[in-house]
Amino acid sequence: MKLWAGRFSKEADKVTDAINFSIGIDKRMWREDIEGSIAHSKMLSERGIISNEDKERIVAALRQLSDEIEKGETVISEEYEDIHSFVEAVLTQRIGDAGKRLHTARSRNDQVAVDIRLNLRNETDRLLKLLEELIALLSDMAETYADVIMPGYTHLQRAQPITFGHHLLAYAEMLLRDRGRLIDAKKRMNVCPLGAGALAGTTYPIDREMTAKELGFDAPARNSLDAVSDRDFCIELASALSIIMVHLSRFSEEIILWCSHEFKFIELDDAFSTGSSIMPQKKNPDIAEIVRGKAGRVFGSLMTLLTVMKGLPLAYNKDMQEDKEAIFDAFDTVSLCLMAFTPMLKTIKVNKEEMRKAAAGGFINATDCADYLVGKGLPFRDAYKITGSLVAYCIENSKVLEDLSLEELKEFSPLFEEDVFKAISLETCVNNRTSYGGPAPENVRLQAKAVKSELSGSK
Ligand code: ARG
């Protein structure tokens, strides 16, 4: 069963197979393994290394196998060490010597490096689509809620008024950066290791440009040692995926807070929340919580990859077989999180009244009150001090700034006039925050448009 049985006089111990086999994980790359082998055989025949007839047989048998696996007519047998051994074994059973010629001028070291790059290129494209759906949703929702006033927080204390649309667009910006990181990582990983052989290239007259082109890579990898020992792309992708999870986790945390009874800013749709087995009144934000929890798992994959690679001498070492489980799990986890998060967000009910109530209750117009006095000629520091005393007075008397009469205000500063009430109304406070990037509804609409155009721009 082993590709390398020739040198050995004894069968491997069961436990050797148990720790050594990777087919349980790498069978996921069967399409890419076949695709890579087709390209390799075409190149071998083009360069006269195998005959045209052998190439025809190999390509037909590989296409046939691919078709059968796709339809479930052939099941990938886990009796083999890895997906490369399985494909080669089936080929040899079916077409004999032609199958045995496929591995000329190739090693599993360059083969696996090609497979994983091809596989992750597709995974990245799938994930980009999911990410883009969420960004598009955020920009739509930002337009819908462009003038819904809510408190903005620092230290989780009510700070200044913002709009819900503005808050949502903050996440759109984070996710756009995530998108950029994935696109960047994809560009860097798109070089072809095939032809690097085990580590030192080959004496056969191969054409690496041809296989690189055939497989949609930008170029062949320049250094054969680097080509087979590089897993930077896995680390970069796991890092980009980890940052996505940081963002989804922070967003989840806010959603969990917002749908608590203490905030009541939003309500989750029944289809995207869960109940309690004992407390009949409960409606729990489990999706948001599990997304927050799964962040840890993705960070774990990044740590696995960094640790596996950090002490390896050049070139290939078996430690590197651990790469696939980590990076595949990271992709699966982030995809699942995005698939659940987007429809959960899309179906929330936004409780504008509660947001406004919270905005009205926390002195979040205090800065605007100070700015009003600045407008009347007072230096900012003095205005700040007067407003501070006003806030203390309000707290003592269970009032907010807008509740005070002009007489009360004038006790603190003669500069207060009738126009102060308009100046410190929440609407004025938000509508006047038109500085670039600020929360005014007109800004939010422009920002949402900019997000959409960045999204539809070229990659
Ligand atoms: N299963 C191996 C991996 O995933 C494939 C390469 C094996 N090469 C070797 N020389 N043992 O890394």
Residue 196 contacts residue 105 (beta carbons within 8 Å): no
- pTM, rounded to two decimals: 0.94
Domain spanning 5-104 has what CATH number? Answer: 1.10.275.10
Domain ranges in the chain with CATH number 1.20.200.10:
109-204+218-357
Q: Is 106 in the pocket of ligand 1 (CB under 6 A)?
A: no
Q: Sign of dihedral through CA atoms 258, 259, 265, 271?
A: positive
**Any atom of ligand 1 within 6 Å of the Cβ of 112:** yes
Rounded to whole angstroms, the Cα distance separating 151 from 319 reads 51
Confidence of residue 60 (pLDDT cuts 50, 70, 90): very high
Confidence of residue 1 (pLDDT cuts 50, 70, 90): low
Confidence of residue 338 (pLDDT cuts 50, 70, 90): very high
CA–centroid distance, 84 to ligand 1, in Å, is: 9
For the stretch 228-279, pLDDT in tens is 999 999 999 999 999 999 999 999 999 999 999 999 999 999 998 887 777 7
CB count within 10 Å of CB 51 equals 13
406: left (phi over 0), alpha (psi -120 to 50) or beta: alpha
Nearest CA to ligand 1 atom 2: 321
Which one of 4, 82, 103 would you pick to mutate in the ligand 1 pocket, going by the greatest count of ligand atoms within 8 A of its CB?
A: 82
How distant, in Å, are the alpha carbons of 189, 337, 363, 390 from that of 459? 15, 24, 44, 53
Catalytic one among 51, 260, 276, 389? 276
| Among protein residues, the one whose CA lies closest to atom 12 of ligand 1 | 321
Whether the pLDDT of residue 458 is over 70: the answer is: no
Average pLDDT in the 197-202 region?
97
Q: What is the pLDDT of residues 413-430, one digit of tens each?
A: 999 999 999 999 999 999
pLDDT of residue 294: 98
Please give the CATH superfamily to which domain 109-204+218-357 belongs.
Answer: Fumarase/aspartase (Central domain) (1.20.200.10)
Lowest mean pLDDT among 63-72, 272-281, 359-368: 272-281
Q: Which residue intervals of the chain bear CATH 1.10.40.30? A: 362-456
Q: Does residue 276 carry a catalytic annotation?
A: yes
- The yes-or-no answer on residue 155 being catalytic is yes
CA distances from 24 to 80, 100, 336 (A): 10, 24, 21
Distance CA 249, CA 254 (A): 9
Confidence of residue 405 (pLDDT cuts 50, 70, 90): very high
**117 CA distance to ligand 1 centroid (A)?**
14
The CATH architecture annotation of domain 362-456 reads: Orthogonal Bundle (1.10)
**117 touches ligand 1 (CB under 6 Å):** no
Q: Residue 153 — very low, low, confident or very high, per pLDDT cuts 50/70/90?
A: very high
Distance in Å, CA 318 to ligand 1 centroid: 6
**pLDDT of 428-457, one tens digit each?**
999 999 999 999 999 999 999 999 999 998
Per-residue model confidence (pLDDT) at position 280: 73
d(CA 2, CA 21): 11
Mean residue pLDDT across the chain: 95
Mean local confidence (pLDDT), 207-217: 98
Reported confidence tier of residue 297, pLDDT bands at 50, 70, 90? very high
Give me 333's structure tokens.
């986890």
pLDDT at 320 over 90: yes
Q: How many residues does the chain have?
A: 459
pLDDT of residue 438: 95
Identify the CA nearest to 117 among candidates 217, 37, 184: 217
> Which one from 155, 277, 398, 456 is the annotated catalytic residue?
155
Indicate the pairing of strand 219-220 with strand 191-192.
Answer: parallel
CA distances from 90 to 51, 61, 68 (A): 20, 9, 12
Q: How far is the CA of 98 from the centre of ligand 1 (A)?
A: 23
Write down the pLDDT at residue 459.
Answer: 60
Residues 6+ apart with CB under 8 A from 372: 383, 416, 420, 423, 424
For residues 296-307, give the mean pLDDT. Answer: 98
Tell me the per-residue pLDDT of 70-92, one tens digit each, with 9 for 90 and over.
999 999 999 999 999 999 999 99
Q: Sorting pLDDT into bands at 50, 70 and 90, what band is 2?
A: confident
* Domain ranges in the chain with CATH number 1.10.275.10: 5-104
